Amino acid sequence: MGEKTIAEWKGGMEFDIELHGHHFTIDADEKVGGNNKGPRPKSLLLSALAGDNLDTGKIEKAVKMSQTKYCGVTAMLEKTAKINYEIILNT
C-alpha cells in the first residue's frame, strides 16, 4: 500500500500536513517570510532519519549532503569561515 501525505496551504509559507492520521504544521523562519509556526522541512528530513532504526550511515550521509549540497547558508559562509558540525546520537 502506498504512502499518502496531504499538505494544505494555510497562507504564507505555512502548511498543515496530514500523515497517517497525524497533523502537524511546517513553516519557515520569520527572517525568510514565514511565521515560525512549525519545523522546517529540512529539519524534518533529518528527524525522519533518526527514526529509521538509527542507521548512522544514513544519518551521516544526510548531514553531509545537507552541509555540502543543499544548505545555502553553508555555501555562503564557507567562503569566508570554516564550518564544523558534529553528529551526536543518544542511544
pLDDT tens string 7-58? 899 999 999 999 889 999 999 999 998 999 999 887 887 777 666 666 677 7
**CA quadruple 65, 69, 70, 72: dihedral sign:** positive
In a domain, 15, yes or no: yes
Do both 2 and 29 map to the same domain? yes
In a domain, 59, yes or no: yes
What is the pTM assigned to this prediction? 0.54
Do both 7 and 34 map to the same domain? yes
**What is the pLDDT confidence band of residue 69, given thresholds at 50, 70 and 90?**
confident
User: In terms of residue numbers, what domain contains 26?
Assistant: 1-39
Do both 35 and 10 map to the same domain? yes
In a domain, 86, yes or no: yes
How is residue 81 annotated by DSSP? S
Kindly state the helix (H) or strand (E) to which residue 86 belongs, with its residue range: none
Q: Is 80 helix (H, G, I), strand (E, B) or coil?
A: coil
How is residue 66 annotated by DSSP? I
**What is the pLDDT confidence band of residue 80, given thresholds at 50, 70 and 90?**
confident
In a domain, 44, yes or no: no
Domain count, the chain: 2
In a domain, 81, yes or no: yes
Query: Cell 497517517 identifies what position?
Result: 20
The DSSP bridge pattern shows strands 22-26 and 5-11 to be unpaired
Do both 29 and 62 map to the same domain? no
